[in-house]
């Protein structure tokens, strides 16, 4: 059996952080559980979103058999309720189904700032914080701490997804779930479908908080491209040949983009690329709170304003 469906979601509402553009020092108003200022936890509303997401994910068909997450706290925290709920509802779940694989290759994007870019906590610490975290899983690639251009983000996402699909094919699973960040989610959509728009800021995929996009593998007899192994930090990312409509792993079609129908608040805090890679504010501007305002544009969707869980009602 080979992988047929990939569900991709974005983390829920989170706490904010700021960065001093002169020193590269990050800080946050609420201490992070990992001790890393740029690694915030979900806000209270985001926790509520994560439980709504969990209820939705465990009822999808085909059912999820593997969970992959960015190793940043907010993503693991978002997907954890689904893993726990699935474990409690399955009499004898396969061990790997109830573990979260932390994959740096689908981690956050910080642009091309001059200072070192944040890295997530180590697996041992994350395991101590999340009982379902797979401490033994080794990421297939790690982003450069020196920063990434938009094109490099897409190539990193392509390589990570190629290896994740390869693992899933080898393990005989039919469906997986990936939890990531706004910019990376858009990049994942593009590398799966093989379509890179002429305008990088095009709203081709919809990364609303806790929304779910569904990708279905294209039918065909074509074989999966052989890709060189990543050789380590600060080396070139192996090319996967995803562009020009090919897509990684034989290519995928997006059948549902950013579905938020199951969320009380509806579509919230979407995002799109602005084309900026610097993450440095212009003279007279306040420092950016996060990648949402520093590297892209926040997009508001259709909110459920009457819902009791809308942020404006908290």
Q: What's residue 54's pLDDT?
A: 98
Pairing of strands 296-299, 270-273: antiparallel
Q: What is the pLDDT of residue 313?
A: 36
> For position 304, what pLDDT does the model report?
76
Largest CA distance in the chain: 59
| pLDDT at position 1 | 61
Looking at the structure of the chain, the number of domains it has is: 1
CATH number, residue 234: 3.40.50.1240
Cis omega before residue 62 (within 30°)?
Answer: yes
What pLDDT does 87 receive? 87
The string of DSSP codes covering 41-91 is PBPHHHHHHHHHHHHHHTT-SSPP-EEEE-SSHHHHHHHHHHHHHHHHH-S
The DSSP symbol for 133 reads B
Tens digit of pLDDT per residue, the chain (314 long)?
699 999 999 999 998 777 766 666 777 777 899 999 889 999 999 999 999 999 999 999 999 999 999 999 999 999 999 999 998 887 666 777 889 999 999 999 988 876 777 899 999 999 999 999 999 999 999 999 888 999 999 999 999 999 999 999 999 999 999 999 999 999 999 999 999 999 999 999 999 999 999 999 999 766 788 999 999 988 999 999 999 999 999 999 999 999 999 999 999 999 999 888 876 655 656 555 554 566 888 888 887 765 545 444 33
Asked if 80 contacts 130 with a C-beta cutoff of 8 angstroms, the reply is: yes
What per-residue confidence (pLDDT) applies to 266?
97
Determine which helix (DSSP H) or strand (DSSP E) holds 34, and give its type and residue range.
Answer: none
Per-residue buried b or exposed e for 283-311, using 16+ beta carbons within 10 Å of the residue's own CB: eeeeebebbbbbbbeebebebbeeeeebb
Give residue 276's pLDDT: 81
Query: CA–CA separation, 126 vs 103, rounded Å?
Result: 12
Q: How far apart are CA 105 and CA 151, in angstroms?
A: 14
What sign results for the dihedral spanned by CA atoms 293, 117, 154, 69? negative
Strand 175-180 and strand 5-10: pairing?
parallel
Structural domain containing residue 145: 5-313
Is residue 138 classed as helix, strand or coil in its secondary structure? Answer: coil
**Distance between CA atoms of 238 and 245, rounded to whole angstroms?**
18
């Amino acid at each position: 059996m080979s992988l047929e469906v990939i569900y991709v979601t974005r983390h829920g509402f989170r706490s904010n952080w700021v960065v001093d553009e002169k020193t590269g020092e990050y800080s946050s108003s609420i201490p992070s559980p990992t001790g890393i200022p740029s690694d915030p936890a979900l806000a209270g509303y985001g926790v509520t979103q994560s439980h709504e997401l969990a209820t939705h994910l465990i009822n999808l068909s085909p059912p999820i058999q593997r969970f992959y997450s960015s190793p940043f706290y907010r993503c693991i925290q978002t997907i954890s309720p689904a893993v726990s709920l699935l474990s409690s509802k399955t009499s004898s779940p396969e061990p790997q189904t109830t573990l979260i694989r932390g994959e740096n290759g689908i981690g956050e994007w910080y642009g091309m700032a001059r200072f070192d870019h944040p890295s997530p906590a180590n697996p041992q610490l994350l395991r101590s914080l999340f009982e379902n975290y797979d401490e033994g899983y080794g990421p297939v690639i790690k982003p450069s701490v020196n920063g990434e251009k938009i094109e490099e983000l897409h190539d990193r996402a392509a390589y990570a997804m190629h290896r994740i699909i390869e693992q899933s094919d080898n393990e005989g699973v039919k469906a997986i779930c990936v939890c990531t960040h706004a910019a990376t989610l858009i990049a994942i959509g593009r590398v799966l479908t093989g379509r890179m728009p002429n305008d990088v800021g095009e709203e081709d995929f919809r990364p609303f908080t806790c929304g779910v996009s569904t990708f279905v593998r294209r039918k065909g007899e074509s074989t999966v491209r052989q890709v060189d192994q990543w050789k380590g930090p600060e080396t070139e990312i192996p090319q996967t040949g995803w562009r020009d409509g090919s897509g990684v792993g034989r290519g995928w079609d997006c059948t549902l983009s950013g579905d938020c129908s199951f969320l009380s608040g509806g579509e919230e805090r979407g995002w799109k690329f602005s084309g900026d890679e610097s993450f440095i504010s212009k003279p007279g501007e306040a420092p950016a709170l996060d990648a949402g305002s520093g590297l892209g544009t926040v997009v508001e969707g259709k909110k459920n304003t009457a819902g009791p869980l809308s942020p404006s009602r908290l």
